[in-house]
Amino acid sequence: MRSGDRPVPDLALTTKALTMLSTLNRILYPLVLKVMFLLDPERIHAITAQVIRRCGYAPGVRSLMAKLFATDDPILRNEVFGVSFPAPIGLAAGFDKNASSVNAWGQMGFGFAEIGTITGQAQPGNPAPRLFRLPADRALINRMGFNNPGADTAARALAQPRPGPVRVPIGANIGKTKVVPVEDAVDDYRHSARTLGPLADFVVVNVSSPNTPGLRDLQAVDSLRPILATVLDVVDKPVLVKIAPDLSDEDVDAVADLAVELGVAGIVATNTTIRRDSLVTPRAEVEACGAGGLSGPPVADRSLEVLRRLYRRVGGRVALVSVGGIETVDQAWERICAGADLLQMYTGFIYGGPVRLRELHEGIAARLRAGGYSSIREAVGSAAQ
């Protein structure tokens, strides 16, 4: 802890204090969100990211954040693929594309975070507008196109000191540079893995974004095999692969089998979807947004289906990180019992705020104790056993 940080010996809040915090969040955050939604989605994202970054490096402020938002409960701690996680819910890739806020995420209550997606070369991403809100569905559509500063610049940011009361694992999510031909994808992934791997706690190979032409074709086992083999060869950290919800069940099985064969540490399921069914938002508004990946509650059912299928196939041999539409304690608990070793949020964090994250962690801990579990590890996959 650096000079200027106030000691935070105990991150636990009393039940009364947590109730008050939740009440304030229910009253105030919708108003804050309403104001934020008056601005262009990408503009408010940039402003919010800057505020979060500065708070993460401001002594005193980061300690206050940790006191309000972080949960320090032994029952939530888990070791997955050799990495210790203080809490099960992490930040999904896509928010901290530049690795600029890595010191803030633990203070905000996340048990871990993924930076990126980072590509081998810097790239601006797709033309704007490229981020759209669907408030009626509490969802987002994005076609950002991996806008990021490139692996070399991200590595410098990732190497910065991380002071403060809470330090959590950081994963490096890597993808293919758009201008790199598909036949050269292996070399592109190799550069990113070699550059970022030594500075991260784990590496996630992203072959599932719908916003880079040809990328999802790399999920085919014949294309995926050399990429994963290369990344595994150049890093000594756990390697995971992130898959799309739009894969057929047979392709999900094929990726799962490949993960076991190669010794991949985990599978992140799932990315955004290109499907547009079962939305509350009027069709004309959705069509006006255009192409892109849909995230939030509309992807929840398929994400859960893929998780259950993966657990039946490789549960216990490959770690499973479930992401997609998680907003409530019931949903988080269902994913854990279905086989998720870890969970991730992005869209739910935007619509619910950081207090909601603490509520989820407190709720999971309560479910564990009510069920007679001594640790979260004991509950993983319990519904399938």
Residues at the binding site for substrate are 97, 142-146, 206, 211, 271-272
HSE at residue 340, side-chain half, CA atoms within 13 A, is: 28
Parallel/antiparallel/unpaired status of strands 202-206 and 170-175:
parallel
Q: Which of 101, 192, 208, 209 is catalytic?
A: 209
The region that residue 265 occupies, defined by phi over 0 for left and psi between -120 and 50 for alpha, beta otherwise, is alpha
Residues 6+ away with beta carbon under 8 Å from 180: 120, 121, 187, 188
In sequence order, which residues have a C-beta less than 8 Å from that of residue 240 and are 6 or more positions away? 81, 171, 202, 203, 204, 205, 264, 265, 266, 267, 268, 319, 321
209 is catalytic: yes
- For 2, other C-beta atoms within 10 Å of its C-beta total 10
C-alpha to C-alpha distance for 380 and 384, rounded to whole angstroms: 9
Up-side HSE of residue 223: CA atoms within 13 Å toward CB? 18
Phi, psi of 312 (to 5 degrees): -65, -35
Closest alpha carbon to 80 in 293, 240, 252, 228: 240
* CA separation for the pair 168, 233 (Å, rounded): 25
How far out from the chain centre does Cα 224 lie? 21
CA 229 – CA 377 distance, rounded (Å): 29
Query: Residues at the annotated binding site?
Result: 93-97, 117, 142-146, 173, 206, 211, 242, 270-272, 296, 325, 346-347
Is the C-alpha dihedral spanning 246, 247, 250, 256 positive or negative? Answer: negative
Continuous segment of H or E residues that includes residue 301: helix 300-314
Chain-centre distance for alpha carbon 316: 21
DSSP helix, strand, coil percent of the chain (3-state; round to 5):
45, 15, 40
Numbered residues of the known binding site for FMN:
93-97, 117, 173, 206, 242, 270, 296, 325, 346-347
Instruction: Kindly report the number of other CB atoms within 10 A of residue 136's CB atom.
Output: 11
Q: Annotated active-site positions, please?
A: 209
